[in-house]
Every structure is written in structure tokens, then in C-alpha cells.
Structure 1
């Protein structure tokens, strides 16, 4: 486990990268590490231009532009985490909560040292949460082949789904429509994940944010719940 000073250094580095690329960085970044996972929660992250686009309901324009910028930033973040923290990040996910001016980045270390069973953790409402996630997945695509989760700390819960793509989605990816598919799935899935009172009931905690992203080539998805256990 990296100490608080190291987590502060990581937050500072990523904040500087985002500021240089977007013209404005997050007001704050909270770094949580429970290997093989690292979670960066961004708050108050919206540039002046994006604010104008958001007022004009141009959400897709913001998401598309951020996706393009993230393609250049992810290799730099991975390289920094390898050198600074000794974390060899194999998978990287991110998502934005534009309505909250927030965002999340998730890195998962690669290597044989991290078996899936070690990801699992025990927490209140786990079984019910997995069932609700499976139900939502079945409504919008298909029931996952596998669901598992890890409570990184009292404020960060990661849920991972394997085997969620249907045949038509795989074909869209094959013919080059990955970006359009991701934009569509973000809207559809988050409409089910947000304002879902079941999650707060299961977890016995207020949910401040929910994020979701996919690695289509791995047929895998990561959902991040940002919890507020004091409420």
C-alpha cells in the first residue's frame, strides 16, 4: 500500500497532465489503491468551453473530445505509475459524470500475481448488488457470464463484469464502430445505474457517483461506485 504522500504525488501528476491537455484540471483528485486496483476520483473537472457545450446539451461532443485526449494521456499515466509506484497497469478505464463535473480513472495491474479470487472482498449487500447489476445488464444487453467486486475502501467499490457483449455489438466493434457503441452504452447503462435506490439500500451508504466503462476487446466492463458511508 502506497503512503499518503505517494498518493498525493500521483494526484498532482495526473492533475497537471489534465490541466495541460484540457486547459483546466480538476479541483481535486482522490487516489485510492488496493492492488491490483488504483482508482482516481476527479471532482470539479469541467473546462469553460465544456460548460458552454453542456449548456447547449452537446454531451456527445464533450465525451468524444475527451476520448481523443485520453488516448494520448493513458500511456503517460501508465508509464508514470510503473516508474513511480511500481504498478504495471494492464487495463485502464475511465468515465465522466458531467452532471456532477466529476470523473474516474481505474487502473488494473497485469501479471500472474493477481488472481481473480484475490479481488473479491466481503461487504454488506454484496450478493444483492451483484444480482441487481446482472438484472440491469440483462435488460440492456445480456446477463454477464461473471460478476465480481472489490471494496477498495469505504468510499470506493469496483464491480467487474465479464462476458456482456451480444453478437451485434461484437460485429459493430469489428467493422469500426467502437466509439459510437461506447457512447450509446454509456447513455443506456447509466440511465439504469443512476437514481437507482436499490444500490443505496443494499450498501447502507449514500452513493455520490456511479461510473462505467468497457474494454470491448476483453468483453469486460468496470463499474465504480463512489460511496458516502457517513450519510
Structure 2
């Protein structure tokens, strides 16, 4: 089910206000894509004046850490709004930032019957090749995923889900309280591999404007989002 344009505009407006109130400056634009059970929010031109100074000083870790802290309080509010306004009970929530592009993404996945597979998975150009490449990159960085699934939300949003990606040392780091450090390290490492890979555009026959990645360590699960510009 696709929510109408007015609903998408209302969601974008609400999240924009929420970010502006918390960060002092909101995104210039937010593009909302809903194809249940997924909602994807793509943020453009999102960088506060203070963050711009920190970015020029190469203080990326400081920006990411601060944003992670703020998002902990914002995610419950966004989930509550989506439940009331769109009737979407969001079980999983992921986000990531493209600081070099002043961009960001948020992904919500509705909670449902764990035994019921997501029916949205569809064929698209380059799907098998993309799955193989994602598995190869994952193996280089940590381990080959137990499962890879992908969902073309619309022509501009491709969501890839990996299950079973953590190795034993990572699970132990999480257990002893180093989850945030692990997240920052994996974010930098994986994104360098994803951004520097020239194969994805040829597989998908589309220009890739942005790539984002986030994890739910307790579910041993990761979400990758490709923002596409089809036909280029």
C-alpha cells in the first residue's frame, strides 16, 4: 500500500520540524517513500552551522556521536507519529548520515508476524549480481551474511537486508558495552567499501546518489539503502 502524496508531505513536515528543534537546523528537503512494511525518509542538505565547522576540522566522529545521542530520543517520537498518522507500527528503525553529501536516511520496518516473510521482494535488474557483491563485501569486512534480501521500494530507493553478519568478537564487544564504538567503526569501514565499489551502478543500470548502512546488533541484522537516479 502506498500512502498518498499529502500523507507523505505531512510526515516529511513533522520529521523536519523535529530535527530542526533538536539540531537547530533541519534538512532543506525530506523525501518520504512508503511501500509497506517499509518507510524510507531521505534527507538532503542537512548540516548545522556547528557541524559544518566540525566537518571542516575532520571531526566526523564528534558529529556522528552527537547525532546518535539525539536520535535515541527522536526515534520513539517518530515511531509514535507514524503509528498515529499512518497506522504503521514500526518495529525496527535504522538511520545513517552521508556527511560528505549533507544527506541522511531513516528506515522504519513495520513489526509483524516473524514467521510471515515480507512479500514486497521483487525482481529488478541486477538483483542476483548485487546480492553476490554485497556478500563479497560483507565477507571482506566481517563475514558472509547468512541471508541477503532486497526490496525495490520505488525506482529511487533500494533496501538491502542482511541477516547473520556478526562474528564472535563483535558479539563479545556488544556484550561488554562497546556497541556504539563498534557501530562507528563498522560504519566507516563498510561505507568505504560500498562507496568505492564501481560495480553497483552497472548492475542496477542507474546512477547511485547515496549509500547508507546501519545495524541492529541485537537482531544480528543490517540494512543498506541505495538512493538511485534511474536512467543515468
Alpha carbons of structure 1 residues 37 and 114: separation in structure 2 relative to 1, 3 Å: farther
Runs (5+) with no aligned partner, structure 1: none
TM-score of the superposed pair, with normalisation by structure 2: 0.98
Instruction: Identify the residue that residue 165 of structure 1 maps to in structure 2.
Output: 166
- Between 188-197 and 3-12, report the one with greater CA deviation: 188-197
- Between 190-199 and 35-44, report the one with greater CA deviation: 190-199
Alpha carbons of structure 1 residues 168 and 113: separation in structure 2 relative to 1, 3 Å: closer
> Structure 1 segments of 4 or more deviating over 2 A?
113-117
**Alpha-carbon distance in structure 2 between the residues aligned to 1:147 and 1:113:** 16
CA offsets, 1:101-150, max 9 Å, x none?
A: 00000000001299324131110000000000000000000000000000
**Alpha-carbon distance in structure 1 between the residues aligned to 2:106 and 2:18:** 13
- Between 25-34 and 104-113, report the one with greater CA deviation: 104-113
**Alpha-carbon distance in structure 2 between the residues aligned to 1:113 and 1:140:** 28
Runs (5+) with no aligned partner, structure 2: none
**Alpha-carbon distance in structure 2 between the residues aligned to 1:144 and 1:200:** 22
Residues 1:96 and 2:105 are matched in the alignment: no
CA contact (8 A) 1:81 1:89 kept: yes
CA contact (8 A) 1:28 1:42 kept: yes
CA offsets, 1:184-216, max 9 Å, x none?
A: 000000010003110001000000000000000
Instruction: Identify the residue that residue 156 of structure 1 maps to in structure 2.
Output: 157
Instruction: Identify the residue that residue 122 of structure 2 maps to in structure 1.
Output: 121
Offset at 1:72?
Answer: 0.2
**Alpha-carbon distance in structure 1 between the residues aligned to 2:132 and 2:39:** 25
**Alpha-carbon distance in structure 1 between the residues aligned to 2:118 and 2:179:** 30
- Report how many aligned residue pairs link the two structures: 231
5 Å-filtered alignment, 1:21-36, equals 21-36=22-37
Alpha carbons of structure 1 residues 134 and 57: separation in structure 2 relative to 1, 3 Å: same
CA contact (8 A) 1:87 1:109 kept: yes
CA contact (8 A) 2:161 2:222 kept: yes
**Alpha-carbon distance in structure 2 between the residues aligned to 1:112 and 1:216:** 20
CA offsets, 1:24-56, max 9 Å, x none?
A: 000000000010000000000000000000000
CA contact (8 A) 2:205 2:231 kept: no
**Alpha-carbon distance in structure 1 between the residues aligned to 2:65 and 2:219:** 22
CA contact (8 A) 1:36 1:114 kept: no
**Alpha-carbon distance in structure 1 between the residues aligned to 2:113 and 2:186:** 31
TM-score of the superposed pair, with normalisation by structure 1: 0.98
CA contact (8 A) 2:131 2:148 kept: yes
SS of alignment partner, residue 105 of structure 1:
strand
**Alpha-carbon distance in structure 1 between the residues aligned to 2:120 and 2:167:** 26
Question: Alignment RMSD, CA only?
Answer: 1.0
